[in-house]
Amino acid sequence: MKYAFSTLGLPGTPLDRSAGLAATHGFDGLELRAHAEEPLHPDSSPAERAAGLRTLTRQGVRVLGVAGYVRVAAAGADEPVLADLRGLVRLASDLEAPYVRVFPGGAALPSAAADAHAVRRLLATAPYAERHGVRVLLETHDSHRTGEAVARVLDRVARPGAGALWDVLHTWLGGETPAESRRALGAHVGYVQVKDVASARELTPVGLGSGVLPLAEAVASLPADGWVCWEYEKRWYPEAPELAGQLARGRRYLQELEAGRTAGTPAE
């Protein structure tokens, strides 16, 4: 199994610092938050992208995914959404990242209309992503919080350039067990985001294994060569402890989960 963490946990941190932390603590990759306040985003120049890739390569760290904020199920015209999707795909390709993360964002619409928007836009984008060696992953989030809801869209898209990002917190909040989420998502899963929280009402991030999420069950369902990404949402919860001081323990905890998975026994 391979491990990454999201730069959402290190807001405003230079890329060389994030990559150095990943390398020092045994993480194989980074999920890069693709926002204008971060070092790399869709408006970054070719020179900035090339320099970023060199920085990561020197540290032996790869980009697992580019975490964008496109909402594919939202109301509105298609072309601005498709243009933003293509921009994220190009950024991922330039950084040699296999995945782009997008959100559903269809909460203001009836579910059938939200599904239709997402299916149409992912179908339009998937061939472009495939030509660039990238897979666009619809995260289990907001209007499509569960594995069942995301699979409902992806089963209709049925293209290798579209898949799912399984956020364990959101499927749990949606009432699914990890086994139910995994069955629903099946081969759509690109990678899994793990995190931990104190309760369904208190979502401030805590260290992995310190909260209530069924992380052992989720990791136990993954293939041996799968990717697990720790999304520590420091950007949205500034009062949370700093991620850098938790990386060593978090990495050990992920190893314990993997060891429990291999042995066929619970790790929690």
Query: How many alpha carbons fall within 13 Å on the CB side of residue 245?
Result: 5
Structural domains of the chain ordered from first start = 2-263 (3.20.20.150)
Tokens of 141: 């989030």
pTM to 2 decimal places: 0.96
Continuous H helices in 141-193: 147-157, 168-173, 178-185
| 49-91 pLDDT, tens digit each | 999 999 999 999 999 999 999 999 999 999 999 999 999 999 9
pLDDT tens per residue, range 196-226 = 999 999 999 999 999 999 999 999 999 989 9
Digitized pLDDT (tens) for each residue of the chain, 268 residues in all: 999 999 999 999 999 999 999 999 999 999 999 999 999 999 999 999 999 999 999 999 999 999 999 999 999 999 999 999 999 999 999 999 999 999 999 999 999 999 999 999 999 999 999 999 999 999 999 999 999 999 999 999 999 999 999 999 999 999 999 999 999 999 999 999 999 999 999 999 999 999 999 999 999 999 989 999 999 999 999 999 999 999 999 999 999 999 986 555 444 4
CA distances from 127 to 19, 123, 206 (A): 31, 8, 39
Give the burial class of 86: count Cβ atoms within 10 A of its Cβ; 0-12 exposed, 13-18 middle, 19 or more buried: middle
